[in-house]
Amino acid sequence: MQEYFNLTNLRRFAMLGLACSLMACVSSSKTELVQVAEADEVSAGSEIAEMISVPYDRARFGDIDGVSVWQLPNAPGGERPDQCWLAVGSDSDGEIYISGHDHIANSMLYRMHQSDNTVRWVGDARTASEKADNWQAGESAEKFHTRPTAHDGRVYVATLDKSGMNTSYLSTRGFHWYGYDKLDNELLDLSATEASGVGAEHLQIVTIQKDAKNNLMYGMSVPENKLVKYDIEQGITTVLGRPAAWNGYFYSNRFMWVDSRGRVYISGGSSRRQWNQDEPESVFNHLWYYDPLEGFAELPSFALQGANALEVGQWDRKHEKLYTSDDQGNIYMFTDATASWTFLGRPDFSSSAKTWIFQLSADEKKIYIGMSDMGSSRNAIYEYDIASSRSFELANIKDLDKRAASEDFITGYDSWDSNGSFYIAAFSMNDGDNVLMLGINPVRVKVARGFLPELVEVNAQAQAANIIVTRSGKSTEELTVLYEVRAYNTDNKLIDSSYGELTFAANQVSITVNSAAIKLPDAHGLATTVFSVVGDGNNYITGNDRKVPLSSF
């Protein structure tokens, strides 16, 4: 079947609530010629024809405004994306990446293109390694357990073939690094050039984190909890080891981070009966770190709520504060400038629930945190207010999408698009049902559920030498609006950003900003700059007119 969608008409259909139903009528098993246009980058009259020749799925509406749903298609080789463990992420442009894995033989990577709301298969471990002549007979890649991590034009993942806290990992060849090249639209086996064809013999990676400043990728193994470092330029992995006090096999952190000093913060252990290995609480009830110059050291003052490794986390948009949680919902804040640590509290749900969803709003006021593994009918998303530590149930998954509510688990952290929606996975284990991905706009959901009185939309347009920022709605309350100025080089590569805020007074519907007053990023080699209104993920959404090229003034 061939369908042609004009951008202007597609917007009209969307206003009528028809766009996704039209898209859903196209079979994901067929090749389709579609007309797609990037709403913010391409003029309304411009169209780009693209042949979709890979497995894909188009968005359908959820059961409430602000929710879209996709189901990951099978890989070309027939493997089913049955599970998705903490493996949803986004890049600086808001493109969404999600891994699906069959937990048996192969792991797949998918990309959700915002331009046409379509999830596409972009590669899988076996196919990429066979192409690089680096797939051995009997080899498998059970999971991409790692959150897809974007850095300098690539999205990185690593394999986890055995995740038991036992010696089963010793039967594996070792993990592979993979990188999805966005420009070439290809998933590459990066370990094919390493001496043994793997990042490290036998080791399996459960989480990764980038050091963008030093062009490095770090990974943590399971169950040995060994830290590894991948030099991206050299294409070489080094096993750094682990603290001397970390003995035996135990639960590995699913989230770690790198600060501005190049230190990698790590944790381990679990008090949950299903994962606890009698590891000593005194060793694991606080954070540790790896310093490239000093090696491993402990941080007793960075106390944890019990011996529970960190599970999820997200930096604020200025990369000044990091918010993180263990799988029991205990929330912490790390302040980069002072390298300080604060326990903030936890949401008002049972600690027996698993916290595998963690999404920080752009205004740094709310955290949307998930309650999972409580029985599919009870899985829910809570809103946690950072200032007051108060929380409430924003929505049960069955309020968002009944089909997703039949799945046992919900996962996903730090996975926002450029329109103010975050993305999560819903799935069960070994049920023959492919992973569902939900896009959730929390502002629209709050309006639909009566937690906000109206939907407020903010737009920005150029007028002479000024930028006019407007808001819709009754406008009786003060409203603070976020913006970002992005700097691009001559290759149209993002090189830096600066951030700011504008405040509407009560009853004010527009703000005039002189373009010369906008603070530009302090970056060398910038060619163009773009002003963008940013959805705060809390009180308002942005419209189609939210970007203004400053180079036009």
268-321 pLDDT per residue, tens: 999 999 999 999 999 999 999 999 999 999 999 999 999 999 999 999 999 999
Asked whether residue 48 carries a pLDDT value surpassing 60, the answer given is: no
Residue 348 near residue 392 (C-beta atoms within 8 A) = yes
Q: Is the dihedral of CA 281, 262, 109, 395 positive or negative?
A: positive
Residue 349 near residue 357 (C-beta atoms within 8 A) = no
Tell me where in the chain the CATH 2.130.10.10 domain(s) lie: 54-448
CA distance 262 to 187: 28
Maximum average pLDDT range among 40-54, 496-510, 521-535: 496-510
Percentage with pLDDT > 70 across the chain:
90
Asked whether residue 51 carries a pLDDT value surpassing 90, the answer given is: no
Asked whether residue 418 carries a pLDDT value surpassing 50, the answer given is: yes
CA distance 77 to 126: 9
| pTM > 0.75: yes or no | yes
Question: Which 8-state DSSP code applies to residue 485?
Answer: E
* Residue 223, preceding peptide bond in cis (omega within 30° of 0): yes
Question: Which 8-state DSSP code applies to residue 114?
Answer: T
Per DSSP, the three-state class of 322 is: strand
Asked whether residue 340 carries a pLDDT value surpassing 70, the answer given is: yes
Confidence of residue 9 (pLDDT cuts 50, 70, 90): very low
Residue 113 near residue 121 (C-beta atoms within 8 A) = no
Q: What is the mean predicted confidence (pLDDT) over 221-232?
A: 98
Per the DSSP assignment, residues forming a β-bridge with 287 are: 299
Superfamily per CATH, domain 54-448: YVTN repeat-like/Quinoprotein amine dehydrogenase (2.130.10.10)
Residue 177: C-alpha distances to residues 140, 193, 342, 386, 504 (Å): 14, 10, 34, 36, 47
SS3 string, 356-392, reads CEEEECCCCCEEEEEEECCCHHHCEEEEEECCCCCEE
Structure-token pair, residue 314: 């997200």
Identity of the amino acid at 207: T
Predicted local distance difference test score (pLDDT) of residue 33: 39
Confidence of residue 520 (pLDDT cuts 50, 70, 90): confident
Among 359, 354, 384, smallest CA distance to 372 is for 354
Per the DSSP assignment, residues forming a β-bridge with 503 are: 480
Strands (E) across 18-58 are located at 32-36, 48-52, 56-58
Strands (E) across 319-454 are located at 321-326, 331-335, 340-345, 357-360, 366-371, 380-385, 391-396, 409-413, 422-427, 436-440
Query: Going by C-beta distance under 8 Å and a sequence separation of 6 or more, which residues neighbour residue 282?
Result: none
Q: Which of 323-327, 436-440, 464-468 comes out lowest in average pLDDT?
A: 464-468
Confidence of residue 553 (pLDDT cuts 50, 70, 90): low
- How close are the terminal C-alpha atoms of the chain, in Å? 45
More confident residue, 527 or 159: 159
pLDDT tens digits for range 233-259: 999 999 999 999 999 999 999 999 999
Task: Give me the count of residues in the chain.
Answer: 553
Radius of gyration of the chain (CA): 23
Q: Is the dihedral of CA 188, 191, 193, 198 positive or negative?
A: negative
CA distance 417 to 415: 7
Q: Is the dihedral of CA 166, 229, 143, 176 positive or negative?
A: negative
Q: What is the mean predicted confidence (pLDDT) over 343-364?
A: 97
Tell me where in the chain the CATH 2.60.40 domain(s) lie: 457-552
Q: What region, left, alpha or beta, does residue 78 occupy, with left being phi > 0 and alpha being psi -120 to 50 degrees? A: left
CA distance 195 to 193: 7
pLDDT tens digits for range 384-395: 999 999 999 999
Predicted local distance difference test score (pLDDT) of residue 526: 79
Asked whether residue 29 carries a pLDDT value surpassing 80, the answer given is: no
Q: What is the mean predicted confidence (pLDDT) over 183-203?
A: 97
More confident residue, 520 or 34: 520
Q: What is the mean predicted confidence (pLDDT) over 79-98?
A: 97
Q: Is the dihedral of CA 18, 96, 190, 228 positive or negative?
A: negative
Residue 235: C-alpha distances to residues 178, 193, 219, 270 (Å): 11, 7, 14, 33
Q: Looking at the domain 457-552, which fold is it?
A: Immunoglobulin-like (2.60.40)
Per the DSSP assignment, residues forming a β-bridge with 119 are: 57, 112
CA distance 352 to 372: 9
CA distance 101 to 81: 5
CA distance 255 to 515: 40
pLDDT tens digits for range 56-80: 999 999 999 999 999 999 999 999 9
Give the mean pLDDT of the chain.
91
CA distance 479 to 229: 44
